[in-house]
C-alpha cells in the first residue's frame, strides 16, 4: 500500500513537471537556449552559464545579439594566467571606449544582454536619453595577489560595468 502511494505521488509529480516544463516561458526555463532578444527571467543566469561548455552556441548568441566579434587564439601567460575562449567585441549595440573589448564569450553574451535589457532602457526611462558610449578601464588583469606565494598571479576579469557613460541629447540625435 505504501509503495503504491509513493509511486502515485512520483507519477503525478512527473506528469505535473512535464506539463509545467511545456508551458514555461523560455526565460524561466533553465533548459531553454539563451536568446539575447528575450526578456530577462530567473533562468537567464543559468542559460548564460551553460554557454561556457558550448562555444558554438555562445558564438551563435553573439551573432543573434548583433555583436561583431573576432575570436582570439587561446594564450597562456605563465602557469596561472591566460586567455581561453576569448573574443574581441568590435561592435556592440553601444560604443565602448578602448574597443575592441576582450571578453570570454559568455561574458560578451552577458554584456550584450546587459546593454539592451538594462542600460539602454534605464537611460531612456531615467534620463530621457540614449547611451552613446560606455567608458571602461579594461576587462582583464593578471596580477600578483598580496600574501600569495612568490610567482603566483591571479587571472581575473576587471569590474564591468565601468565608471562612466555618455548620453546623447534626446532631441539632437545623440
Instruction: Give the chain's mean pLDDT.
Output: 80
What percentage of the chain reaches a pLDDT higher than 90? 32
Q: 30: closest CA among 48, 18, 14, 13?
A: 48
Q: What are phi and psi of 125, to 5 degrees?
A: -70, -45
Alpha helices for 24-131 (secondary structure H)? 44-50, 55-64, 105-114, 120-127
Q: Is it the case that residue 95 has pLDDT exceeding 60?
A: yes
Note whether 131 and 123 are within 8 A (CB).
Answer: yes
Structure confidence at residue 168 (pLDDT): 59
SS3 state of residue 44: helix
SS3 state of residue 124: helix
Q: Average of pLDDT values for 139-155?
A: 66
In this structure, what C-alpha cell is assigned to residue 108? 560578451
Higher-pLDDT residue of 163, 166: 166
CA quadruple 88, 91, 92, 96: dihedral sign: positive
Residues 9-68: pLDDT tens digits?
888 877 777 766 667 888 888 888 899 988 999 899 999 999 999 999 999 999 999 999
Sorted by sequence, the CB contacts under 8 Å of residue 146 that are 6+ apart come out as none
Higher-pLDDT residue of 145, 88: 88
Q: 139: closest CA among 98, 94, 84?
A: 98
What percentage of the chain reaches a pLDDT higher than 70? 78
Higher-pLDDT residue of 137, 114: 114
Structure confidence at residue 140 (pLDDT): 74
Q: Is it the case that residue 155 has pLDDT exceeding 80?
A: no
Q: Average of pLDDT values for 83-91?
A: 87
Q: 112: closest CA among 75, 173, 52, 160?
A: 160
Sorted by sequence, the CB contacts under 8 Å of residue 29 that are 6+ apart come out as 21, 43
Strand order in the sheet with 86-91: 68-72, 86-91, 101-104
Q: How many Cα neighbours within 13 Å face the side chain of 47?
A: 23
Whole-model pTM: value is 0.72
Structure confidence at residue 148 (pLDDT): 66
Amino acid at each position: 500500500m505504501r509503495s503504491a502511494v509513493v509511486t502515485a505521488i512520483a507519477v503525478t509529480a512527473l506528469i505535473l513537471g512535464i506539463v509545467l516544463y511545456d508551458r514555461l516561458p523560455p526565460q524561466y526555463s533553465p533548459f531553454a537556449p539563451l536568446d539575447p532578444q528575450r526578456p530577462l527571467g530567473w533562468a537567464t543566469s543559468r542559460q548564460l552559464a551553460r554557454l561556457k561548455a558550448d562555444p558554438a552556441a555562445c558564438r551563435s548568441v553573439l551573432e543573434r545579439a548583433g555583436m561583431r566579434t573576432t575570436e582570439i587564439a587561446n594564450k597562456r601567460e605563465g602557469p596561472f594566467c591566460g586567455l581561453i575562449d576569448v573574443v574581441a567585441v568590435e561592435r556592440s549595440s553601444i560604443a565602448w571606449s578602448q574597443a575592441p573589448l576582450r571578453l570570454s564569450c559568455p561574458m560578451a553574451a552577458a554584456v550584450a544582454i546587459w546593454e539592451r535589457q538594462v542600460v539602454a532602457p534605464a537611460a531612456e526611462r531615467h534620463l530621457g536619453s540614449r547611451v552613446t558610449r560606455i567608458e571602461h578601464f579594461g576587462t582583464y588583469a593578471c596580477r600578483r595577489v598580496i600574501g600569495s606565494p612568490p610567482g603566483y598571479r591571479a587571472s581575473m576579469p576587471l569590474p564591468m560595468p565601468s565608471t562612466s557613460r555618455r548620453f546623447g541629447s534626446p532631441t539632437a540625435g545623440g
